[in-house]
Amino acid sequence: MDSINSFILLLDSFLGSAAYFPFLLLGVGAFFTVYLKFPQVRYFGHAWKVVTGKYDRAGDPGDTTHFQALATALSGTVGTGNIGGVAFAIFLGGPAALFWMWMTAFLGMTTKFVEVTLSHKYREKTTDGTMAGGPMYYMEKKLNMKWLGVLFAIATVISSFGTGNLPQINNIAQGMESTFGVEPMVTGGVLAFLLALVILGGIRRIAAVTSRIVPTMSVIYVLGALAVIFYNIENVVPSLVSVFADAFTGSAAAGGFLGATFAYAFNRGVNRGLYSNEAGQGSAPIAHASAKAHEPVSEGMVSILEPFIDTIIICTLTGLVILSSGVWHEKHQNTFPRTDTTFIVGEYADQNTDDRQQLFHYLNRSDDHSVELFSGELIIDEGVSKSSGYTVLAARSVAEEVRFSLGSVEHPYTGSLKIKDGQPVDTAVILTGKSLIHSAELTTIAFTKGFLGDYGQYVVSIGLLLFAFSTAIAWSYYGDRAIIYLVGYRGVMPYRVCYVAGFFWASFADTTLIWNLAAVAIVMMTLPNLLGIMLLRKDMKESVADYWKTLDSESTK
């Protein structure tokens, strides 16, 4: 697993974590925002009218209504990114990361408008009578670049696991275990069975399920978040100030949080913003291609609402819960994931200014530090280290009250423990103690710091269950449309079997490894899609102009 995680991180260094990627993603969104004259602002009201069915016609081709297509696409985006992803962004980049999530969403409203319109315009009917669409179809049919369509479709299949499948059940299982004590394998088994029942029914059953889950889960989550925000109302304004104040400077150290540079906060905020609303990734257009509409631009209008609902509303609520409660810079008792834990040479304290500075540069990938990985042997007695000359870093913080166990936390370790290049050689050794935490676990703790008290954790667990499960449902559809494009309808059933099996496996896999895989998979879809929509910019502009001409002529009749 260590080798696999290292390879994934290497790929990520050339993709999502590379310096160019945030600028590329935001740059395309900014270009279309100016090129189409701020459609996310000018067409926002019109989009609500379209989604309510005001412009529908009887007999419009498609499989779902505008609302069902929006609900399916939202179920694909409103998931762990809104609960665990926001927490992960703040954990990495501090409050500043939330600002860049907002910027990604604002510009992403235009990007999604473009990609959905084009995908709907060039969709086609499959052999089973349903609609199939997505960036791969306009890449082939309009750009005559089938190779790019194939590349995108392959990336979609991979991303259906790395984005919509594995991280979703991983976070569900984590939340169910921490809140209700349910074994991850049990959670994975039950939900894998339910997932199979839903996705075997195709897009119509998927749309019917998601159109009920999305409104329910949104109401539950919003009410739970407000219960924390109003309880900590005196911290809301300072939290918002820190978001804006740190946006162009990076986030300063606070408590156990050792600080983040501007570049790191910017990169992680944009990256997590993309994971949350998927604008530019090319995934949601696959769901919108199923919508009943005679004008492709009308479905593009509907998609403008997605990043607004997903990121501007839901992610902001999550961010304010985490920031106002203060849990993001506090250390909590937990079990340290192996891929999140490193032994370094020397004894560091995060209360020491010089130590903080050294660790700050080390964690933010700067060369201006003297931190070295520890190699050697530790003497452990009943779970407690008797050795010195090293520090344990867990979740980007200095770990405290570290205990060593073998196999499970109930069995304290005694004996000599060899450490090589910052990692225990014996992979059966488990470390527990106090450190920062991230992902869904951080959000769960934050939700207990409000009017609901400990009951707040149930809001996260239920919300996470509904959010993430619906995301997995939507992404199964994205993946099988990509399979149809690649090999035809015969490949759908084998894909669905693998999808359900992967869903079960990820319920008990390493959290950090899952998140790193998701980050790579997202960018593998995004880069081909951004290229495609840029090449079709004139087509898009003409489509929008034709839409308004048609709408004006119909209104005068």
Show Cβ contacts of residue 24 under 8 Å, excluding neighbours closer than 6 positions. Answer: 527, 530
CB 526 within 8 A of CB 282: yes
* Residue 338 tokens, joined: 């192996």
- Lowest mean pLDDT segment, chosen from 13-27, 315-329, 357-371, 483-497: 13-27
Strands (E), 319-388: 332-335, 341-345, 376-381, 384-385
CB 188 within 8 A of CB 179: no
The pLDDT of 69-80, averaged and rounded, is: 76
The pLDDT of 67-82, averaged and rounded, is: 77
User: According to the model, what pLDDT value does residue 556 have?
Assistant: 65
Note the helical H segments in 15-58: 20-35, 39-42, 44-51
Question: How do the domains of the chain map onto residue ranges?
Answer: 2-51+60-330+451-555, 332-435
Strands (E), 360-461: 376-381, 384-385, 390-394, 397-398, 400-406, 408-412, 415-420, 423-424, 429-435
Q: How far is CA 372 from the centre of its chain?
A: 32
User: According to the model, what pLDDT value does residue 539 have?
Assistant: 97
Range 2-51+60-330+451-555: architecture per CATH:
Up-down Bundle (1.20)
Strands (E), 83-168: 124-125, 131-132
- Closest C-alpha among 257, 215, 239, 227 to residue 447: 227
* Residue 334 tokens, joined: 């937990």
Q: What is the DSSP code (8-state) at residue 249?
A: T
* Residue 17 tokens, joined: 């974590």
Rounded Cα distance between 396 and 153, Å, is 36
Rounded Cα distance between 115 and 205, Å, is 25
- Checking if the pLDDT of 115 tops 90, the result is yes
Q: What angle do CA 219, 220, 224 make, to 5 degrees?
A: 115
CB 525 within 8 A of CB 281: yes
Rounded Cα distance between 474 and 354, Å, is 48
CB 311: neighbour CB atoms within 10 A? 33
Mapped onto helix, strand or coil, the DSSP state of residue 299 is helix
- Closest C-alpha among 4, 25, 68 to residue 473: 68
- Closest C-alpha among 271, 272, 251 to residue 261: 251
CB 402 within 8 A of CB 432: yes
Phi then psi for 65, rounded to 5 degrees? -80, 170
Q: What is the DSSP code (8-state) at residue 381?
A: E
Q: How far is CA 148 from the centre of its chain?
A: 25
Rounded Cα distance between 305 and 284, Å, is 12
Rounded Cα distance between 465 and 15, Å, is 30
CA distances from 268 to 76, 80, 96, 272 (A): 21, 16, 10, 6
pLDDT category at 508 given cuts 50, 70, 90 is confident
Rounded Cα distance between 292 and 58, Å, is 9
Phi then psi for 255, rounded to 5 degrees? 60, -130
Q: Per residue in 196-244, pLDDT tens? A: 988 888 777 887 887 888 788 888 899 999 999 999 999 999 999 999 9
User: According to the model, what pLDDT value does residue 471 have?
Assistant: 84
Q: Per residue in 395-423, pLDDT tens? A: 999 999 999 999 888 999 999 999 999 99
β partners of residue 335:
432
pLDDT category at 515 given cuts 50, 70, 90 is low
